[in-house]
Amino acid sequence: MAYLGNYQNTKAVLDKYGFTMQKKFGQNFLVDSNVLENIVTSAGVTKDDCVLEIGPGIGTMTQYLCEHARFVIAVEIDKKLIPVLNETLSEYDNKVIINQDVLKLDLNAIAEEYNDGKPIKVVANLPYYITTPIIMELFESHVPLESITAMVQLEVAERMQTGPGSKEYGALSLAVQYYSNPKIVLKVGAGSFIPRPNVDSAVIRMELYKENPVSVRNEAFMFSLIRASFNQRRKTLVNSLSNAGLQGVTKETVTDALSEMGLSPTIRGEALSLAEFAKLSDLICS
């Protein structure tokens, strides 16, 4: 089977199966072998690794992953692509294809079954419409992960690694940086895909922390504060949080906590670092 990392071979497979892209699944297929090689290299995939690939499509990157990894778990939501994957990956016996929505899978059970519960590496060309829910599910379900290397919309990648004071900074930035060290490793133009998307993309590598960079008494409460802080960006933190309907969070408790931290009552959420949100959360909790 020929590698799919170019336009001709990809087009041939799509034509053979009469496959048409489904907008609801955000399907854009990568047709640039240099980008594919860079993704696998950036992910640091070796023969010791078990890799979870989300959205393999027709198997373009899966082929590269099977060449480099010990085992590949390819999770594809579109049942029409399963016969295609069975053909394009027929030469590889170090893979399993799962026709399922990754958000409905028990990923801890998957890691246990295929990697004895040891940390796996995630490599994915994520559909742009569902990037954030997938990333958050991977973090919040506490699947044993070593790293996530994902192709995402460039704007989203920039949001993930930016810091306080930037207009891109928000709840996603803080969540990603709480669980991992994110770094954009490659920018990818729209011309590297068929069909051509309307935006540029980037590959971001998120290396998961063995220990979170800040300690907080109640992780879930901290993230409820963070989400509320950015729901109404133009409002002060005091107003955003006191209007969010969170238990025990009033103008007075927020103002007192900010005062104890030496911060102005007129400060906005976008000015606070992850460590400051953790501190604010602990003070309000207490």
Per-residue pLDDT of the chain (286 residues; tens, 9 = 90+): 567 777 788 777 878 877 766 655 556 788 889 999 999 999 999 999 999 999 999 999 999 999 999 999 999 998 999 999 999 999 999 999 999 999 999 999 999 999 999 999 999 988 888 899 999 999 998 899 999 999 999 999 999 999 998 989 999 999 999 999 999 999 999 888 877 888 899 999 999 999 999 999 999 999 999 999 998 888 999 999 999 989 889 999 999 999 999 999 999 999 999 999 999 999 998 8
| CATH code, domain with 262 | 1.10.8.100
User: Do 156 and 231 reside in the same domain of the chain?
Assistant: no
Q: Last residue of a domain, which of 178, 208, 238?
A: 208
User: Do 131 and 74 reside in the same domain of the chain?
Assistant: yes
63 domain residue, yes or no: yes
User: Do 87 and 148 reside in the same domain of the chain?
Assistant: yes
User: Do 127 and 167 reside in the same domain of the chain?
Assistant: yes
Tell me which residue range forms the domain holding 102: 7-208
Instruction: Classify 253 as helix, strand or coil.
Output: helix
User: Do 129 and 19 reside in the same domain of the chain?
Assistant: yes
User: Do 104 and 244 reside in the same domain of the chain?
Assistant: no
User: Do 197 and 114 reside in the same domain of the chain?
Assistant: yes
Report the pLDDT value the prediction gives residue 232, as an integer from 0 to 100. 82
214 domain residue, yes or no: no
Phi-psi region of 117 (alpha: psi -120 to 50; beta: other; left: phi over 0): left
2 domain residue, yes or no: no
Q: Tell me the pTM.
A: 0.91
93 domain residue, yes or no: yes
User: Do 153 and 238 reside in the same domain of the chain?
Assistant: no
245 domain residue, yes or no: yes
Instruction: Classify 29 as helix, strand or coil.
Output: strand
| CATH code, domain with 167 | 3.40.50.150
Determine which helix (DSSP H) or strand (DSSP E) holds 208, and give its type and residue range. Answer: strand 201-208
User: Do 36 and 154 reside in the same domain of the chain?
Assistant: yes
User: Do 39 and 134 reside in the same domain of the chain?
Assistant: yes
User: Do 230 and 188 reside in the same domain of the chain?
Assistant: no
1 domain residue, yes or no: no
Work out the burial of residue 46: count CB atoms within 10 Å of its CB; fewer than 13 is exposed, 13-18 middle, 19 or more buried.
exposed
Domain count, the chain: 2
Q: Last residue of a domain, which of 165, 188, 208?
A: 208
270 domain residue, yes or no: yes
Q: Last residue of a domain, which of 144, 173, 208?
A: 208
Query: Using CA atoms, how far apart are residues 190 and 32, in angstroms rounded to an integer?
Result: 11
Query: In three state form, how does the secondary structure of 84-149 look?
Result: HHHHHCCCCCCEEEEECCHHHCCHHHHHHHHHCCCCEEEEEECCHHHHHHHHHHHHHCCCCEEEEE
23 domain residue, yes or no: yes
